[in-house]
Structure 1
Amino acid sequence: MIDFVRIRFDNARNLEEVISNPNAFKEFYTQYEVHSQHVLYPKRVKFRNLDVVVTKESAYLKNSLHKYYNLKYDGSDHNSNDFTFSMLCEVVEEILSKSDEFGFGVITQLEIGFNIDTKLPAEEIIRSAIFLYKEKAYTANENFNGNGELLLFKSTNYLIKIYDKAKQYSIAANKLRFELKYTERAELKKLRINHLSDLVDKKKIRLLCKNLLIKLDDFLIIDAFDSVGTIPEKDKDSLRKYSSDRFWRSFGQKRGLVGLSRQAKGNHKKRLKVLVDKHELSKTKTLIKDGVIKKYVYLMNN
């Protein structure tokens, strides 16, 4: 569920004092200028996988809370298993126990994601059913040298990744990962996610999940239709057209006809919905959405 986090600390000197304490951190790294014997920035510590870095002007903590938990209990640097709410609470409590100062930092980046069990291999779903996000194509498509398919969709304050979690870690089961990463403060602020303590507030985690589902709804995910004999060729042509970002981009290029363009676009979106409903092509999207909700309920209750 909650995974990567980046936290900014406005009072760098306070955090510098914290990480310099040998009773709290066994290893403390910095740079040293030999001739002048000056200790230079950045100064840093690492506990498990978490990096804490102090520069002259700022300080931050970053990395995966999920991997932190796994490293603590079995020494493995992965996030392929389930990371429950109680596990998250344990990690947050342990970080805050190092120093109260960690509780004052502001979360600037945050990742929430779900590993969903699927009948089909995740890469097959990604290649055949996931087309557009808000009528835009993916920003990147990677296959990690045969170790799993990944689609990346970038937006202003966040990015969304959909990828094959099973193949990434050579897991026998089929697992699709749907992941939302907030890359700026703007949306986190709206969701009232400010400090580490907010991550152990169930109401705020619910808001994060709700926002993820809203973004999932904005995806054009259509079941494979090319080989379905019962769908007329005319409807297939329309579905192919609607699955292309080039078609939707054309509406933004009609200068002087903004109102008409917006109305025409709305009519085409309605037509697309009619086609998807008529030929029952929303099973994959329903599977993903139901999988997210089911996994959310499980993780929050364990």
Structure 2
Amino acid sequence: MSPAARTPAALAPSSGRRRRAPARTPPRRPAPAVPRHYLSLKGAETVPLPWFADLARGLEQTADQRAIMCLSGNAGVGKTFALDTVLAAKPRPARRARLGRLVPRPAPTPLSLRSDLADALNLEAPPKDPRAFDAALREVLAARDHLLVVDEAQRLDGVCFEYLRYLFDDPRARLAIVLVVGERGRAVLRRQKMLVSRTGVSLQIPLLTSADVAEVIPRFHPLWHEADRDALERLDAHWCHGNFRRWAQATHHALRLLRHTSARHGPAPHPLLEDVLDATWQPREDLQ
């Protein structure tokens, strides 16, 4: 075979038109994680609350010390949203850590927890052989800093907490853990004595006060920009009870009903929303 015949076609001289090299498409960068407002509420703004700074400092301390942090609060106060907001800003040194997120399935077992950890940390090896998986997982946790966020951590039982302790106590592990629980879940965590002794930061997220409502809600959504303080206080006392998720629900329902009213009767002045919401929304529910 002649040298010319061995030349690859892409490198061989062309007897006719020169073949253009295909244009190179720049690699896509993954979109940054943007926290999603409840009900994907259009027009909603992220309003930093006073305790956001405490959360950022707690995350920084937890990641820096490779410790455990407990984040608790009533359902709907904004724990997960706030956590996502602060993590998106990547406070130091948490930004150096590889982030893993998991929500344990109901009544988890150590095997299912291993499977969830494999998904959260993008591990290739499935946990078919627990001993081999644990060895591989410990090598991964020793290789670089990791920040593991466990939402709904109150679902874990004593055996699963012991497994997390086993990983956390490995002297080579570069692991920090954030446990997120509802208000009733705090009692579950307090029963784990080994957890209490290893917790460096414990932060309880409060409900909105009247002053918070007056300051935050007009900035949260354009619907409330012109609302007076007395109207906001009445809405909060009757429906929302200082709960941010309830305020998102109230905003969603009010916008839907206002659009419906406008379609039927034409544009109308901004009504007092107690009357609009009263017809369709139960004012009270258990928020624990």
In which range does the TM-score fall when normalised by the shorter chain? under 0.3
User: TM-score normalized by structure 2?
Assistant: 0.24
More strand by share: 1
Higher RCO (CA < 8 A, seq sep 6+): 2
User: TM-score normalized by structure 1?
Assistant: 0.23
